[in-house]
Amino acid sequence: RKEVEQDPGPFNVPEGATVAFNCTYSNSASQSFFWYRQDCRKEPKLLMSVYSSGNEDGRFTAQLNRASQYISLLIRDSKLSDSATYLCVVIPGTGGFKTIFGAGTRLFVKA
Amino acid sequence: DAGVIQSPRHEVTEMGQEVTLRCKPISGHNSLFWYRQTMMRGLELLIYFNNNVPIDDSGMPEDRFSAKMPNASFSTLKIQPSEPRDSAVYFCASSRRTGMNTEAFFGQGTRLTVV
């Protein structure tokens, strides 16, 4: 089993739609979680951290479910500019700061 | 700060040749990561360093791959000999160790094509 797994998609949604991605992780002792965004032919960049209590940044909401070992990202009122690949990231917490990326979920927002 | 700097941006080489990828992390960052990204396998962690010391190289695919970090401002990833299946985008990233919520900053990547 991979350490971090995501549905690769693609998700094709119209502008204004709400879309949600899930990501599961295998190491129950994992300490830190993030969502990164990667545009086509660009490097990944941090979108937001995921806190135990859940957190929101504008149209984006991230949540953590430790019992089921998954994190989620919710995007409300999708914009064309949200089209990208969203990468789930986990720091297992053992072995230093090993940072594991999921394979990513591709999102296409259509006009 | 200029960010993480990788060179070259593009590399085309023939099978069997040695390839060296270079990375300059952000000044003050003490963790450095090498990733490989392909359509089939996504972003794979190859190796990472803390304070210039390799901590985990379990992601290095074969002995043909080696990485060094001689000082805090420079790292190399070498493939010798290269093979067509090594074709991918190689990213270097760095972060500052200040607790568990550490953001990794990526370079623009090196697009490697082995023919």
Q: What is the pLDDT of residue A98?
A: 79
Q: What is the pLDDT of residue A94?
A: 59
Which B-chain residues 26-45 have CB contacts (< 8 A) with chain A?
A: 31, 33, 35, 41-43, 45
pLDDT in tens, A33-80: 999 999 999 999 999 999 888 899 999 999 999 999 999 999 999 999
Nearest residue to A74 via CA among A84, A62, A88 = A62
pLDDT in tens, B30-89: 999 999 999 888 899 999 999 999 998 999 988 999 999 999 999 999 999 999 999 999
Q: What is the pLDDT of residue B103?
A: 84
Higher pLDDT among residues A108 and B1, named by residue: A108
Q: What is the pLDDT of residue B45?
A: 92
* Residue of B94, B100, B111 to mutate when probing chain A, most A C-beta within 10 A: B100
Quick one: CA dihedral A102, A80, A13, A68, positive or negative? Answer: positive
Quick one: CA dihedral A59, A65, A68, A69, positive or negative? Answer: positive
Alpha carbon distance B21, B92 (integer Å): 9
Q: What is the pLDDT of residue A95?
A: 53
Contacts of A107 (CB under 8 A, 6+ apart): A9, A10, A11, A13, A19, A21, A75, A78, A82, A83, A84, A85, A86
* Residue of A41, A43, A47, A94 to mutate when probing chain B, most B C-beta within 10 A: A43
Strand order from edge to edge, sheet including A4-6: A4-6, A19-25, A70-75, A60-65, A55-57
Q: Nearest CB to A96: which of B35, B45, B50?
A: B50
Q: Do A96 and B31 touch (CB under 8 A)?
A: yes
Q: Do A43 and B104 touch (CB under 8 A)?
A: no
B35 contact residues in A (CB cutoff 8 A): 101
Alpha carbon distance A54, A45 (integer Å): 20
Strand A11-14 versus strand A105-110 pairing type: parallel
A45 contact residues in B (CB cutoff 8 A): 106
The letter for the amino acid at A111 is: A
